[in-house]
Structure 1
């Protein structure tokens, strides 16, 4: 999300976001909700006062909206008002314990559906898909493309090796690969680089997509903040759903599209009433912050 250099600001925003949401008791879901709100605030340069004042028109992360709807239960001390009502507007609210009103889940049916789409499915996979269906399928699609990457350490996985760096990858007991990064070629017209490396002493090369270079090669217009009808991306991310088309009538709060980044989904909503004049994005397109999504007249 481009916030790697702003960790101190995110920590401060975490404190303010936590206070806004009512000083939540922290377990994995609630700490993620506060973290999503903190990243959203830093990404968009928003103070607590800004968030509270503009709550009716901001496109909050999905986790924050669903928390305020009551999807993970009622927090100790209740929901923060009037912040909750401003964010939710006319969205439905879950009263009481969410699990009490959920329909029963057929795990065997889910397992059969997963086996139709994926090669190998374990009981742990079924439970993961039941709790986090979208994230689980993204993980399976990723590993189907790149293979099992749990054998890489965290830095190599997230950043990749440095040139001339040597490292080992243990595929299984007694089967270890010795790898040395050698050089990177220039970006070609397809946005790819030739990557040269040694594998167990043998020089190899592969073509790898340079996603950052592809973003730089493709110029996407930015939303002008002084033009009310231009709707920009509130954070970097991938477009996973578009809810409207040209000619649709929208009101304030109408869902426009969904962005996803680092397991955080954000529903972009209309800040004003009007008609969709132009849509500048397509599904699976990767956007930077403030990239123009659509225009409303």
Structure 2
């Protein structure tokens, strides 16, 4: 286009076309993971959601069962941004705004409701972290009234967040880290663990269960094999295995399927549990009275911090809900004694599922 001008640039069109063909082929493999957003939108001038976050927001909403309220989420994002003082929205501050927008949408709250009921709400942990000062100090400070509602009795920082970091003895802690996991974990793994401990624990547990899946072809990894489909897996230099799926039987009464395949030409069979054979979903009791504390959104009830008989002060942490990269610590809206724990950590909960009951 610029040939013959001083801005002309020599480009290898054949090379560019090779890149184009490559990404066209790759997209066929990864299309199930696309966000579903087919075009740009002028709404960006209203809600100011960064592009990367915008493409992730719909899958996140889908994971929380809120995809049908995506327009409300975008509107709430705009409202949250105003409530928080019109933040500079980059990772991770933009995620905090998104977490709060999801929280408001899942609980049918608007900005006025938050300001009215803020002292009784259990805000997402990322929101508390922002107002505490973990991401730094906002220019001009955060809105004072909202800050008091979010932090409750906690005082925000007045200095740099790194001044509150606990010093790390890398040599000592790295040795402990290798004992906790394996000696094969390197310093990069250690840094990943220190930055994202729960994510690394999950990754390591999957690695221990399945080993290194990197050699698997992408299509086989994501979608599995079709009957009579054959793949070559390169394990290393001069090391390859040939696998061909023959067929998979229907599940028996216990949900077990027999998988017949060829491994380097030899027919083998293994038994595999079909986890989709029978629904094990449990309908939990819902929180309906003032003395019953339920989950504010659907997700994983990762931990319960109290036990029966505990006398709890207002704003004390009760349990944690994890959902789509968002962690929320649910606190006590009043003082009281724990009468019953209805659900323990490690179960999936729906919104309003009863977790704790007070006397």
TM-score if structure 1 supplies the norm length? 0.80
Structure 2 residue 70 is matched with structure 1 residue 5? no
Shift of the 115–164 alpha-carbon distance from structure 1 to 2, 3 Å rule, reads same
In the TM superposition, what whole-angstrom CA distance separates every residue of 1:2-21 from its partner, at most 9, and x where no partner exists?
33634724333333222222
Counterpart of 1:277 in 2: which secondary structure?
A: strand
Matched, 1:144 2:198: no
Mapped contact 1:165–1:180 kept (Cα < 8 A): yes
Counterpart-to-counterpart distance in 2, 1:197 and 1:205: 7
Using the alignment, how far apart are the partners of 1:41 and 1:98 within structure 2? 27
Aligned-residue offset at 1:128: 1.3
- Decide whether the 8 Å contact of 2:174 with 2:190 is kept in 1: yes
Contact in 2 for aligned 1:163/1:183 (Cα 8 Å): no
Q: How has the CA–CA distance of structure 1 residues 234 and 164 changed in structure 2, closer, same or farther, with 3 Å as cutoff? A: farther
Gap change, CA 1:145 and 1:254, over 3 Å in 2 = same
Cα deviation for residue 180 of structure 1 reads 6.3
Correspondence for 1:228 among 268, 273, 290: 290
From 332, 341, 344, give the equivalent of 1:279: 341
- Pick one of 32, 35, 40 that aligns with 2:95: 32
Gaps of 5+ in 1: none
The alignment partner of 2:156 has SS state of: coil
Cα RMSD over matched residues? 3.4
Distance 1:205 1:31, change over 3 A: farther
Q: Which runs of 5+ in 2 are unaligned?
A: 1-62
| Equivalent residues in 2 for 1:71-90, closer than 5 Å | 71-90=134-153
Give 2:167's aligned residue.
Answer: 104
Instruction: Say whether the 8 Å CA contact 2:251–2:274 is kept in structure 1.
Output: no
The counterpart of 1:23, out of the listed 83, 86, 95, is 86
Do the aligned partners of residues 50 and 175 (structure 1) sit closer, same or farther apart at CA in structure 2, a change above 3 Å counting?
Answer: farther
Alignment of 1:153-164 (within 5 A): none
Partner Cα distance (2:64, 2:228) in 1: 25
SS at match of 2:147: helix
- Residue pair 1:111, 1:121 contacting (<8 A) in 2 also: no
The one of the two structures with greater contact order (alpha-carbon pairs below 8 A, sep at least 6) is 1
**Aligned twin of 1:91:** 154
Take 2:246 and 2:133, find their aligned partners in 1: how far apart are those partners?
Answer: 49
Q: Give the whole-Å Cα distance in 1 for the aligned partners of 2:260 and 2:327.
A: 36
How many corresponding residue pairs? Answer: 290
User: Does structure 2 conserve the Cα–Cα contact (< 8 Å) formed by 1:187 and 1:213?
Assistant: no
Name the CA distance, whole Å, in 2 between partners of 1:172 and 1:11. Answer: 46
Q: Deviations over 1:78-117 (max 9, x none)?
A: 1123111111110242221011232321122221122112
1:37-76, Cα deviation, whole Å (9 max, x unpaired): 2222222222222223221111221111111111221123
1:125 aligns with 2:150: no
Cα pair distance change 1:107/1:262, threshold 3 Å: farther
Q: Is contact 1:62–1:265 with CA below 8 Å preserved after alignment?
A: yes
Q: Retained in 2: the 8 A contact 1:187–1:210?
A: no
Q: Measure the CA separation in 1 of the matches of 2:220 and 2:113.
A: 36
Distance 1:230 1:102, change over 3 A: same
Bigger radius of gyration: 2
Secondary structure of the corresponding residue to residue 82 of structure 1: helix
Whole-Å separation in 2 of the counterparts to 1:142 and 1:281: 25
Give the alignment partner of residue 275 of structure 2, picking from 202, 210, 213: 210
Normalization by structure 2: what TM-score? 0.68
Q: CA 1:26–1:272 in 2, change beyond 3 Å: closer, same or farther?
A: same
